[in-house]
Amino acid sequence: MNRQASGLRAWLLQRISAIVIFGGLSIFAIKLLFLPPQTLFEWRSWLAMPLVSVLLMLLVLGLLLHAWVGIRDVVIDYVSSLEYRVFVLACFAVFLVAMGLWCLQIVMSL
C-alpha cells in the first residue's frame, strides 16, 4: 500500500478520484434536487438500476481512494512517532475499507 500511494502515483490518484467524485456527486445531486423519488419503491428501483448502482459504487470507491491519499498526508504531517503513526494509518485504512464494504452491502440489499 505504501509503494502504491507514494509520490506521483498518489498525486495522480487524488486528482483522478477527485474528478470521479465530482462527476458522481453532480449526477446524484441533480437527481435528488430536480427529479427526487416520491416513494420508497421509486427510490429503490432507481438505485437498483445497474447503471446507478455502479455509479454509486464508483463514487464511493473514488471517495475512499481520495480520502486515503488525503488522510495519509495529514497523518504523516502530524503524527511523528513511527509506531503511533502506523497505528493511526491502520485505523483509517480499516475504517475506509469498512465504509466501502458497507456501501457494497447496501447496494446488494437493493
Partner 1 sequence: MQADKRPVFLNLLQIRMPVTALMSILHRVTGVVLILLLPFFLYWLQRSVMSPDGFIQARSIFYDLPGQIVLFLLAWVLLHHLLAGLRYLLIDLDIGVERYVANCSAAAVMILAPVVALLAVLVL
- Positions in the binding site for partner 1 (CB under 8 A): 2, 15, 18, 22, 33, 36, 39-40, 43-44, 47, 63, 67, 70-71, 74, 77-78, 80-82, 85, 92, 96, 99, 102-103, 106, 109-110
Minimum distance from residue 105 beta carbon to partner 1 (Å) = 8
Instruction: Give residue 79's region: left, alpha or beta (phi > 0; psi -120 to 50).
Output: beta
CA-wise closest residue to 97 among 52, 61, 59: 61
Minimum distance from residue 70 beta carbon to partner 1 (Å) = 5
- Closer CB to partner 1, residue 4 or residue 80? 80
- Concatenated DSSP letters of 18-84: HHHHHHHHHHHHHHHHHS--SSHHHHHHHHHSHHHHHHHHHHHHHHHHHHHHHHHHHHHHH--SHHH
Minimum distance from residue 58 beta carbon to partner 1 (Å) = 15
- Closer CB to partner 1, residue 9 or residue 44? 44
Minimum distance from residue 74 beta carbon to partner 1 (Å) = 6
